[in-house]
Amino acid sequence: MSTQQEVQARLSYTTAMLERGIRTASVATMVSAKFCVSRSTAYNDITAAQAEIDLSDDGPSLEEASEPINTDSV
């Protein structure tokens, strides 16, 4: 059984690899080899990491102006 810290390390690594555009099968192989886990565990990590990526919003919120901020008024 993995500790929460080990799971977080795997998810962080998996997320980084997916964001770089590496194929899912390759990510599974890399996670499995790097962390000595089964491929099914690696695929579970990929699913969790992809869900995290899908939920994250790196863009501006709807309330934020799309125009540049006037730094003189800040």
Compute the C-alpha angle 14/44/17, nearest 5°. 15
**pLDDT score of 57 more than 80:** no
pLDDT digits (tens, 9 = 90+) for 1-37: 789 999 999 999 999 999 999 999 999 999 999 999 9
22-53 in b/e burial notation, b at 16+ Cβ within 10 A?
Answer: eeeeebbeebbeebebeeebbbbbbeebeeee
Average pLDDT, the chain: 86
- Confidence tier at 70 by pLDDT (50, 70, 90): low
**pLDDT score of 66 more than 70:** no
Residue 60 is predicted with a pLDDT of 57
Residue 56 is predicted with a pLDDT of 82
